Amino acid sequence: MGKVRRVKHRVTLIPGDGIGPEVAQAARSVIDATRVSIEWVVRQAGQTALNEFGELMPAQTLDAIRETRVALKGPITTPVGTGFRSVNVALRQELDLFAAVRPARALPGVPIRHAHVDLVVIRENTEDLYQGIEFERGSPQAEALRQKLRVLAGYDLRADAGFTVKPISVYGTKRIVRFAFEYARTNRRRKITVGHKSNVMRYSDGLFLSTAQSYRREWDDVELEAMQIDNLTSHLASHPENFDLLLLPNLYGDILSDVCAGLVGGLGLIPGANIGWEYAVFEPVHGSAPDIAGQGLANPIAIILSGAMMLRHIGEPAAALAVEHAVDFILEEGRIRTPDLGGQATTTQVGEAIAERAQVLVAHTRP
Ligand code: NAD
């Protein structure tokens, strides 16, 4: 009787919208080529789910992520003006994915200005100016707030002002700081740079900074430095190779992770993850690219590298490395590329080439 191969991991796969299904299929074939035993639980979200179930994020999709704890997700089209909550925001809130992780690494054969960039941005995902506490100009709530602020803070704010509140808590900061130190240790990162503007925003950014600094003694094998966000941005643009791990509150994190994407060659190449203590969702940084959907033009590398991050997360570092090295090999060779990198290959052809290479690399590292 033949030996029955037991499934080791279960992962929810959300193909998504636009180019999502094409690139997700490529990623799945690359990951399967590493021979890590994964049962894919395929679920829908986004426009595809809206058409089928009348919901952008059906309960069965959330249930699948809760059950498997890990998901690989394609991009989702956010319908404009429908009143639906963005799928990405819903996922973040429902699963408490408080850390956004975005590595930015210079890839071989991709022409960029700074050849030695290898850094990761860890962004707090739930608080700060993005928490969504807003008061519309001229509304009764804005007027009430103006009056309160006159009493509480002594400010007479203009009647035609709108307001967005910036909460940063010790609770929210502690967990992202802890996450960043643990990430640094596990991924052999030596230095964390905290970005802040604590001289101006003493009680929000100041709290973020002092909370991070209070962890310094507990994790003394990782260096912690602090930089004003404007100074940090300027250094990042001129000497990105000097940074290792950036730890940032939500808004700065959003902006600087896009700066980092630009530094290493653009959207089609950048992986990402949203992670909490219980669940993790891995996804490319790019959107659903409706302009090129269904034509085989999309670059699958961003989601393939997200898949490598996912493999590392589920405890398969050798397979993760094989996928990353396979991507490096195909890019360096330069023969099989999608049009965004100046080539003529299709999404499937790039996926197949990387899968073949990953299979060879894994065979060499297995006994
Ligand atoms: P986009 O990232 O989809 O596209 C921007 C440009 O980059 C387009 O010209 C596109 O063709 C190109 N591009 C993107 N990914 C590519 C790839 N893998 N290969 C080659 N070229 C690629 O951004 P957008 O046009 O602003 O947004 C389109 C939709 O995606 C919107 O509905 C938006 O809300 C959504 N979106 C979703 C996510 C997500 O699900 N995480 C992220 C960003 C945007």
pLDDT at 5 (0 to 100):
60
Spatial contact of 38 and 8, defined as CB atoms under 8 Å apart: yes
Strands 271-275 and 99-105, how do they pair? antiparallel
Ligand 1 atom 36: the closest Cα is on which residue?
A: 287
Output phi, psi for 176, to 5 deg.
-75, -35
Whether 328 sits among the annotated catalytic residues: the reply is: no
Rounded average pLDDT over 297-326: 97
Whether 254 sits among the annotated catalytic residues: the reply is: yes
pLDDT at 366 (0 to 100):
60
Question: What's the residue count for the chain?
Answer: 367
CA 45 to ligand 1 centroid distance, Å: 16
pLDDT at 84 (0 to 100):
63
Q: CA 335, CA 187: separation in Å to the nearest integer?
A: 31
Rounded average pLDDT over 18-22: 97
pLDDT at 97 (0 to 100):
97
Alpha helices in 170-228 (DSSP H): 170-186, 205-213
Spatial contact of 318 and 365, defined as CB atoms under 8 Å apart: yes
Residue 319 reports pLDDT greater than 90: yes
Whether 203 sits among the annotated catalytic residues: the reply is: no
- Residue 1's pLDDT band (boundaries 50, 70, 90)? very low
Tens-digit pLDDT profile for residues 79-134: 776 666 678 888 888 999 999 999 999 999 888 888 889 999 999 999 999 888 89
Rounded average pLDDT over 188-198: 96
Residue 163 reports pLDDT greater than 90: yes
**Which atom of ligand 1 is nearest to 79's Cα?**
32
Q: CA 242, CA 236: separation in Å to the nearest integer?
A: 8
Q: CA 210, CA 160: separation in Å to the nearest integer?
A: 35
Chain mean pLDDT for the chain: 93
Q: CA 149, CA 131: separation in Å to the nearest integer?
A: 20
Rounded average pLDDT over 343-367: 91
* Displacement of CA 274 from its chain's centroid (Å): 5
Q: Does the CA dihedral 249-254-257-262 come out positive or negative? A: negative
Q: Identify which of 87, 267, 303 to mutate to test ligand 1's pocket (most ligand atoms within 8 A of the CB).
A: 267
* Displacement of CA 100 from its chain's centroid (Å): 5
Helix, strand, or coil here: 1?
A: coil
The pair of structure tokens assigned to 244 is 């290792």
CB atoms within 10 A of CB 307: 27
**Which atom of ligand 1 is nearest to 23's Cα?**
18
Give the pTM: 0.92
Tens-digit pLDDT profile for residues 326-354: 999 999 999 999 999 999 999 999 999 99
**Which atom of ligand 1 is nearest to 19's Cα?**
18
pLDDT at 340 (0 to 100):
92
Ligand 1 within 6 A of CB of 343: no
pLDDT at 3 (0 to 100):
55
- Type of residue at 214: S
CA 232 to ligand 1 centroid distance, Å: 27
Rounded average pLDDT over 210-229: 92
Strand partners of residue 134: 164
Contacts of 331 (CB under 8 A, 6+ apart): 107, 108, 109, 110, 301, 337, 341
Ligand 1 atom 39: the closest Cα is on which residue?
A: 75
Spatial contact of 79 and 47, defined as CB atoms under 8 Å apart: yes
CA 19 to ligand 1 centroid distance, Å: 9
Ligand 1 within 6 A of CB of 29: no
Closest of 230, 172, 220, 233 to residue 192, by C-alpha: 220
Residue 241 reports pLDDT greater than 50: yes
Identify the residue whose tokens are 């707030």. 145
